[in-house]
Amino acid sequence: MDWKTFLSAAKGLFPDDLFLIDAEDCLRYGSDWTKTAGTAGLVVRPRTTDEVSEVLKLCSQMKIPVVPSGGRTGLAGGAVARGELVLSFERMNRLSEVDIHGNTVRVQAGATTQAVHEHCAPQGLMWPIDLASKGSCEIGGNLSTNAGGLRVIRYGMARKWVVGLQAVTMAGEILELNRDLEKNNTGYDLIQLLIGSEGTLAVITEATLKLTRFPNHSWVMFFPFESPRATLDFFAEARRGPFEILAFEFFSKACLDIVSARLNRQSRLGHSSPFYALMEVEFPVGREDEVDQWLGMMLENRVVSDGLLAKSESEKDQVWGLREGITESIQATAPVKKYDVSVPVRKLAAFLEEVERALKQSGLGIELYLFGHLGDGSPHLNLVKPAISTMEQFNQDCAEFEKTIFVLLKSYGGSVSAEHGVGILKKHWLTVSRSPAEMRLFRDIKRVFDPQGLLNPGKVIDL
Ligand code: 2HG
Ligand code: ZN
């Protein structure tokens, strides 16, 4: 790319401080948490939607490819640049006043998820998308990847919590979608088409987020289990418990060990177990006895063998810390490859048993760290490099085992990405989850929005 020509065409049209060209900046803004090699050719940091529109117009005219970039905490490589212009939203982080009639808030794409939470909390309201990376990830990224997170079982994915969206097409056209209407049955829902499209159709610049009240009163429970199947049997019981389930997460002993070592903390359960479940439940104040009785019954009937109950905020945070610390603890320990698959919850136990059996039989040098959103049918399979394997061997072994995972997944009617998205890392496996007719429609849609193929090229689908 000839950036000198671009910069001289841009001269006078934009403030000078809009652009970063330094190699170090290009490296930083062009890569993400996946650590896939990437670099920007040029970084642009607009302050307004009009600037975004003008930049995209110029890029369209000059045929310059663009990668939209949020907090770069994505795990599918959707924000990795390979020499393109990177459009960062970090300066577009304005939060408007909370609308207490509509229970909504208008925010710019670069606001972090945590900033939105903190902004709405004084009104007793929250945007219920809760992610371990909430301090760094941004609303634009949350929406373009349709983020899930830790409370999907109760609140659903990000796409359920949006009533208005502003987005800019590659041609520079500004779209104001849905105008914050709660109800609007007039044709195709373009908001929902853009959410989850990973910045390949248009660039999200602002959103009106739907808010809800904080949960009533919650307790966090932590249980040991012998297997995912036993955990799911308990889950089926819990579905009928005297509360609303806010989260149902699980993780293997390997995950607990690695987090405990990092946090320098021992589990307060008397013994270790192959699997653990974390369940957060909500119920009205005054119903504590009912929940206590239900727990007693679970223990008496041996549905669970042991458990911890966290009632205070600090105890709850401690238990959640074990779950939320897994990604970073693994990342800090060894190279890892991540698979955020999903299968229908009813098939999950059988699927995970087959994955574990296949790995044991394969004799490959890979360690499997299993955790995730059991209640949503969305486990995270992290393949970790053992110290004795070389990097080359590990890559080869993962490539082989990846095939096994995806063949199995297809036979279970699963998805290659439950929540992280397709990006570059899952692109080659998209046909496991999508039919030829769907793939054709995907391409047709991409062509309508971005006929030159300049927006986040090489991600999700090629033209
Ligand atoms: C989570 O559930 C995130 O914590 C990250 O989706 C999962 O690190 C992972 O594989
Ligand atoms: Zn997850």
Nearest CA to ligand 1 atom 6: 149
User: What amino acid occupies position 150?
Assistant: L
Q: Is the CB of 134 under 6 A from ligand 1?
A: no
Residue 96 has what DSSP assignment?
P
Distance of CA 298 to the CA centre of its chain: 33
The ligand that comes nearest to the alpha carbon of residue 133 is 1
Given ligand 1 and candidates 340, 369, 416, 420, which is best to mutate, with the most ligand atoms within 8 Å of its CB?
A: 340
The ligand that comes nearest to the alpha carbon of residue 330 is 1
Full set of structural domains in the chain with CATH = 3-88 (3.30.43.10), 104-213 (3.30.465.10), 218-328 (3.30.70.2190), 334-423 (3.30.70.2740)
Beta bridge partners of 125: 213
Q: What is the 2 CA–ligand 2 centroid distance (Å)?
A: 39
Residues 6+ apart with CB under 8 A from 52: 46, 87, 92, 168, 203, 205
Distance of CA 273 to the CA centre of its chain: 28
Q: What is the 446 CA–ligand 1 centroid distance (Å)?
A: 28
Q: Is the CB of 380 under 6 A from ligand 1?
A: yes
Given a contact cutoff of 8 angstroms between Cβ atoms, the answer to whether 228 and 352 are in contact is yes
Cα–Cα dist 455/88, whole Å: 14
Nearest CA to ligand 1 atom 5: 327
Report the atom number in ligand 1 closest to the C-alpha of 323.
4
Q: What is the 373 CA–ligand 1 centroid distance (Å)?
A: 9
Looking up tokens 């709850």 gives: 316
Q: What is the 10 CA–ligand 1 centroid distance (Å)?
A: 40
Q: Is the CB of 327 under 6 A from ligand 1?
A: yes
Report the atom number in ligand 1 closest to the C-alpha of 373.
2
Phi/psi of residue 227, each to 5°?
A: -160, 165
Q: Is the CB of 338 under 6 A from ligand 1?
A: yes
Q: What is the value of pTM for the model shown?
A: 0.94
Q: Is the CB of 382 under 6 A from ligand 1?
A: yes
Cα–Cα dist 154/257, whole Å: 28
Torsion of CA 242, 248, 253, 259, to 10 degrees: -120
Instruction: Tally the residues of the chain.
Output: 463
pLDDT value at residue 266? 72
pLDDT value at residue 365? 87
Q: Per-residue pLDDT for the chain (463 aa), expressed as one digit of tens each?
A: 789 999 999 999 999 899 999 999 999 999 999 889 999 999 999 999 999 999 999 999 999 999 999 999 999 999 999 999 999 999 999 999 999 999 999 999 999 999 999 999 999 999 999 998 999 999 999 999 999 989 999 999 999 999 999 999 999 999 999 999 999 999 999 999 999 999 999 999 999 999 999 998 999 999 999 999 999 999 999 999 999 999 999 999 999 999 999 988 776 776 789 999 999 999 999 999 999 999 999 999 999 999 999 999 999 999 999 999 999 999 999 999 999 999 999 999 999 999 999 999 999 989 999 999 999 999 999 999 999 999 999 999 999 999 999 999 999 999 999 999 999 999 999 999 999 999 999 999 999 999 999 999 999 999 8
Distance of CA 137 to the CA centre of its chain: 9
Cα–Cα dist 73/136, whole Å: 7
Looking up tokens 């670099």 gives: 39
Q: Is the CB of 372 under 6 A from ligand 1?
A: yes
Secondary structure in 3-state letters for 212-276: EECCCCEEEEEEEECCHHHHHHHHHHHCCCCCEEEEEEEEEHHHHHHHHHHHCCCCCCCCCCCEE
pLDDT value at residue 270? 66
Q: What is the 297 CA–ligand 2 centroid distance (Å)?
A: 31
Pairs from 311-316 (Cβ < 8 Å, separation ≥ 24): 311/219, 315/220, 316/218, 316/219, 316/220, 316/280
Residues 6+ apart with CB under 8 A from 134: 112, 113, 114, 117
Phi/psi of residue 28, each to 5°?
A: -65, -50
Report the atom number in ligand 1 closest to the C-alpha of 330.
8
Q: What is the 4 CA–ligand 2 centroid distance (Å)?
A: 41
pLDDT value at residue 235? 97
